[in-house]
Amino acid sequence: MTGEIVALPYERPALAQALGADYEERLLAAHHWMTLARELDSRMLGLQRQGRIGFYGPATGQEAVSVAAGLASRPEDWIVPGLREQLVALVRGHSLARYVHHLFANDRDPARGRQMPCHPTAREVKYVSMSSVVGTQITHAVGIAYGLKLRKDTGVALAFFGDGATSANDFHAGLNFAAVLSLPVLFCLTNNQWAISVPVERQTHVKELAMKGSAYGIPSRRVDGTDFVACYATFAEGLEAARASPGPLLAEFLLYRMTPHSSSDDPSRYQAPDWMAHALAHDPVRRMEELLTRLGILSDAAHTSVREEATRLVKEAIAEAESVGAPTPESMFTDILASGPLPVPPRSEPA
Amino acid sequence: MSELTLVQAVNRGLQQAMHDDGDVILLGEDIGLNGGVFRATDGLQKEFGAERVIDTPLSETGIVGTAIGMALYGLKPVPEIQFQDFIYPAFDQIVSELAKFRYRSGGQYPCHVVIRAPYGGGVKGGLYHSQSAEAYFAHTAGLKVVIPSTPADAKGLLLSSIYDEDPVLFFEPKRIYRAVSGEVPEGDYRVPLGEARVAREGSDLSVFAYGAMVHPALQAAESLAADGPSVEVVDLRTLAPLDEKTVLASVEKTGRAVIVHEAPRFCGYGAELGSLFAEKALFSLKAPIVRVTGYDTPFPYALEHLYLPNAPRIVHAIRETMAAG
């Protein structure tokens, strides 16, 4: 990619303050994950075009938020995701191999190929299953937070959703319930400025979506969602605050959707050509790389090695997933109820 | 044993579960201090505290969505929807989320929520306090639908629902909340889900009903006892999953079926029963299946007495069926 980027405004003291004394290690870890995510998006969109997977919803442009959430959260925190948060599960320890099995909807997909790709479940890292309905997960985070508070559990529920979800019923119900009941929820609003083809200006009449949090009595702020350091500081501070004194907080992460909504979308129908130029200047991965290079902690050789490692990991996971067959037909009929008769095909049809 | 009304039996069932299991949480509109508009949760906030009996803001999607989150965490939430007519804002949560969590997560996230809602007509509630919406939910894979018709079943089925592992829609026939009373066992009394009850044995014709309609069905059967046909009444108790064995055994025995429900006829629960009999018991049938149901109209206010099935309409259907063959 070419073109100017907007540099991250940090020197070493500010980084130590935001990320801790081991900030170099943290930045390099974040860069590893961002590079892997970018490689995954690029390969998977390609595989979808070749018909090797059925669908893909890339998170290109949103990596800083997901990686920051994954690194700043603790094992006892719950992740209640939207469409573009799979990276949070991976950073928290969900295996890449399992995730790619899910993308291929094969027999080793933990959910037996029942959902479209990019809808993984990862209970082992408290990553909750999502539907494709926009916003319904927001109230689930509220209920989880109720349990956390009732049981004096130190975890926090992180609810992820986009700008489009702020128009949906459960956004309003969820924020209101969490505020009235003083629950430890971090509402993570990833404002990528598009709900498929509808720009955020057509989604709301308020100047900043964070104002909607304030309207419910929830401390709310807007954050540069393409700045990993700012995102990490926001999560670290927000999670600590919610743990210390249970109550909701809202962060609006302003960022750019740098790809189509999904593999089924064509932004040339609705997006001005210069929009992407602006987005590219805020590419979170390139901003991170510029920072690391400027600080002298990522040599060209090391950068190449990080990229090669990401390529290898993704390639291996794809090869493994493609060696596994489709889910068994019987799996259509299981996991519906814990008890009760299993549904069976009508006897006039071949089983 | 105590003599209780149906709504008192619901209250005792909730009280028992809350006493025995600290994970049981109630949430809903007006259920705490006020004890619920029908008093189903009367006294429970006082006994178990405001953390376990939660007066929520007014949003059904908020109530059910929050209950789903509680269940994901590991609690046993029992939300109340004040009237089943107001469940539709939560329809998305119930059908898109609650019903599908176990399936779409490959069993990693079972989601056990018991949604209580008073349903049905006969209390002069008009369009929005009278509906019978059970078919929408029975149609959805991943949900159980339970409807008691007696105080003992109200307690026993409710406790079984709370200790089940699946999502349950527990619909309470509000018309007989106080109109019906009966002996209810003490303690952790449970009636298994998925088992219909033969409420009255007979040999000539079977009436299938649930909820408040079981009572006019029984009245109709009794009124014919002296010189009419011998009528069996089957109380379904669990609509999903249906106890096919019991209902098929009944229709195979009598060879005649009358199906009664308050909900509109078109695509109502009776259509499923009728199809089941056509598919699996056709050669036992001596006469066409007859349905006695609400009409295919919105629920009327002034004319609800004409809308709701009653004993005379059921008697008429029984006679018609007997005359047909």
pLDDT tens for each residue of A154-206? 999 999 999 999 999 999 999 999 999 999 999 999 999 999 999 999 999 99
pLDDT in tens, A273-307: 888 888 999 999 999 999 999 999 999 999 999 99
A337 contacts B241? CB cut-off 8 A: yes
B105 contacts A181? CB cut-off 8 A: no
pLDDT in tens, B106-146: 999 999 999 999 999 999 999 999 999 999 999 999 999 99
Picking from A143, A176, A337, the nearest residue to B73 by CB comes out as A143
* Contact partners, residue A321, CB within 8 Å, separation at least 6: A97, A100, A101, A103, A104, A106, A108
Segment 245-284 of chain B within 8 Å of chain A by CB: none
Q: Is B113 exposed, middle or buried (0-12, 13-18, 19+ CB in 10 A)?
A: buried
Q: Is B42 exposed, middle or buried (0-12, 13-18, 19+ CB in 10 A)?
A: middle
Picking from A122, A143, A341, the nearest residue to B69 by CB comes out as A143
pLDDT in tens, B245-286: 999 999 999 999 999 999 999 999 999 999 999 999 999 999
Q: Which residue segments constitute the domains of chain B, with CATH numbers given? A: 2-184 (3.40.50.970), 197-324 (3.40.50.920)
pLDDT in tens, B65-113: 999 999 999 999 999 999 999 999 999 999 999 999 999 999 999 999 9
Determine the distance in angstroms separating the CA of A195 from the nearest CA of chain B, rounded to an integer. 20
User: Does the interface ipTM go beyond 0.95?
Assistant: yes
Q: Which residue segments constitute the domains of chain A, with CATH numbers given? A: 12-263+276-333 (3.40.50.970)
Which pairs from A92-98 meet CB under 8 Å and 24+ separation? Answer: A92/A122, A92/A125, A92/A126, A92/A127, A93/A124, A93/A125, A94/A120, A94/A122, A94/A124, A94/A125, A94/A127, A96/A36, A96/A313, A96/A314, A96/A317, A97/A317, A97/A320, A97/A321, A98/A122
pLDDT in tens, A235-260: 999 999 999 998 999 999 999 999 88
**Distance between CA atoms of residues B43 and B41, nearest Å:** 6
Give strand pairing partners of B206.
Answer: B232, B257
Q: Give the dihedral of Cα atoms B219, B220, B221, B227; nearest 10 deg.
A: 120
- Of B87, B99, B309, which Cα lies nearest the Cα of B216? B309
**Distance between CA atoms of residues B142 and A202, nearest Å:** 37
Sign of CA dihedral B234, B235, B240, B243: negative
Determine the distance in angstroms separating the CA of A64 from the nearest CA of chain B, rounded to an integer. 27
Determine the distance in angstroms separating the CA of A317 from the nearest CA of chain B, rounded to an integer. 21
Give the predicted TM-score (pTM) of the model.
Answer: 0.97
B213 touches chain A (CB under 8 A): no
- Does the active-site annotation cover A261? yes
3-state secondary structure of B261: strand
The Cβ of residue A305 has, within 10 Å, a number of other Cβ atoms equal to: 11
Which residues in B lie closer than 8 A to residue A335 (C-beta atoms)?
102-103, 105-107
Sign of CA dihedral A114, A120, A123, A128: negative
A136 contacts B97? CB cut-off 8 A: yes
**Distance between CA atoms of residues A192 and A195, nearest Å:** 8
Which of A146, A153, A185, A218 should we substitute to test contact with B (largest number of B Cβ atoms within 10 Å)? A146
A179 is written with which tokens?
């505020």
Q: Where does chain A have alpha helices with state H?
A: 12-19, 23-49, 63-72, 86-91, 96-103, 137-150, 169-180, 210-215, 228-244, 273-281, 284-295, 300-322
pLDDT at A345 over 80: no
pLDDT for position A341: 79
pLDDT band of A1, cuts 50, 70, 90: very low
The Cβ of residue A311 has, within 10 Å, a number of other Cβ atoms equal to: 15
Give me the amino acid identity at B290: V
- Does the active-site annotation cover A257? yes
In this structure, what are the phi and psi dihedrals at residue A333, rounded to the nearest 5 degrees? -105, 5
Could you give the residue numbers annotated as active site of B?
129
pLDDT for position A350: 56
Which H or E run includes B16? helix B6-20
Determine the distance in angstroms separating the CA of B89 from the nearest CA of chain A, rounded to an integer. 9
